[in-house]
Amino acid sequence: MDRMSLISSQHCFTQVILLSALVSLVSRVLNMRESMVGQTSEFFGLALLGLLETLALFVVSPILPQYVERYGVAYSEIGYFFTAYSLTWTLLQLYTGYLSDRYGKKRFVFVGLLIYGVSALFLAMAQSFAQLVLLRVLQGVGLGIFGPAALGLVAQFREKGRSMAFYRTANGAGIIIGPVLGGAVAALDISYPFFVSGLASLVAIISLQFLKEEKAEAQSAEFFRSLRSMLSTRGIALICVAAFVAELCFAALDIMIPIVGESLGFSTLWIGVILTSYFLAFTVLQVPIGLLSEKVGKQRVVASAAFAGAVPFIILYFSSDPIEMSLSLGLLGIALGAVFVQSSAIVAELAPTGKESFYMAFFDAVIDFSFPVMPIIVTYFLAFGIRTPFLLLVNLMILSGVVFSVKK
């Protein structure tokens, strides 16, 4: 009898263990499902933000110079129009990343997108060149506020490689779609791309509902110590200089392609297609180039790509065919894509452990100064001939290649 009781007790104990294990397994499955649903929701928000923000930025690319020309301004004034916008967001992004860490990244993304979107809607209805410049500066403020904060949200994902891939791929899609869409709607009315830009910015705010945020205290003293240390690193300085020179060439495209295209009688749609060729090649081929750089060396790939980037500008100097120009921009997208992505990888390798994000942010800020600088240079050279700036860009790419070739 005692033996039967013992067996019964053991059987009950086994059942309890099995039941507990089953409950635990079900609980884990439910938690995994909840986690996967949450992750899917966050990645959807990430993709939505990345797509719409770049769509808002680039949908106006095919028509900006022509839109400004309607107000009877000279090429030099067009350059100031571009510079006012670029200088604003370039300077702001040095500080807004720090502030968004302290006061909330989602809050900064919301405010920045709101400012950018509303300014775009008013740009479509501007009545004077002064209004254009003022509203474009406000857009620069919006971009300077939401840009670094958006990258901060991406960096908070646990799977940083996956989150950055999602975000940059979505960025690439927006960059590809934007110029073509802008050129198409501009065929109906040249102000319509600004309405599209404004709506895309405002709709992008919805993405914040799907994104989480982790707040952390910013340390200003650490910032300045890291800055001094970084500026004393020879390799970082050389990479920043070489990438800045190459970025000058990219910054010239938004002015040169629409102006040259218009002089050749191209439609705004064709101008959009030509610009999109660059971004399509840039987006699609960076993974294979990354694999190649791991085998042959990043510095060799970057220097070779910089030298190769001079060739498309030589073709553009002589070309009058939209298909030929599209192919040239595609080649340029491959070359400059390799330069920017792989030079970023070199900076990441040179950065001390734990300071990778800071070094990358500084690198981006330095090369982005090309955007306020280059419009003034390009519009100055336009006075010597509408294609003359292409010759300048050839020499800049060669100079970039030379600096990249210097041993770090």
Residue whose pair of structure tokens reads 């990343």 in the numeric block: 97
Domain-located, residue 27: no
- pLDDT tens for residues 263-311? 999 998 899 889 889 988 887 776 677 778 878 888 899 999 999 999 9
Structure tokens at 346: 């070199």
Residues 253 and 192 in one domain: no
Burial class (CB in 10 A: 0-12, 13-18, 19+), 350: middle
Domain of residue 364 covers 222-408
What is the three-state SS of 220-270? HHHHHHHHHHHHCCHHHHHHHHHHHHHHHHHHCHHHHHHHHHHHCCCCHHH
| Helices 370-381, 356-368: crossing angle, 10 deg rounding | 20
Q: What is the CATH number of the domain that holds 201?
A: 1.20.1250.20
Query: Of 211, 117, 132, 213, nearest to 166 (Cα)?
Result: 211
Per-residue pLDDT band at 17 (split at 50, 70, 90): low
- In the predicted model, what is the mean pLDDT of the chain? 82
Both 232 and 373 in one domain: the answer is yes
Share of the chain above pLDDT 70, in %: 81
- CA geometry: angle at 143 spanning 175 and 125, to 5°? 85
- Phi/psi class of residue 212: alpha, beta or left (left: φ > 0; alpha: ψ in -120 to 50)? beta
Same domain, 63 and 104: yes
On whether both 187 and 318 belong to a single domain, the answer is no
Let me know if residue 301 belongs to a domain.
yes
C-alpha span between 228 and 224 (Å, rounded): 6
Is residue 368 situated within a structural domain?
yes
Within a domain: residue 24?
Answer: no
Regarding pTM above 0.75, the answer is no
191-216 pLDDT, tens digit per residue, is 999 999 999 999 999 999 988 776 65
Query: Locate tokens 């491959």: which residue?
Result: 334
What's the pLDDT tens digit per position in 369-383? 898 889 889 989 998
Same domain, 127 and 191: yes
Please tell me whether residues 80 and 142 are part of one structural domain. yes
> Residue 58 falls within a domain, yes or no?
yes
For residues 14-47, one letter each, b for 16 or more C-beta atoms within 10 angstroms of the residue's C-beta and e for the rest, the string is eeeeeeeeeeeeeeeeeeeeeeeeeeeebbebbb
Of 34, 141, 49, 51, nearest to 91 by C-alpha is: 141
Structurally, the chain folds into a number of domains equal to: 2
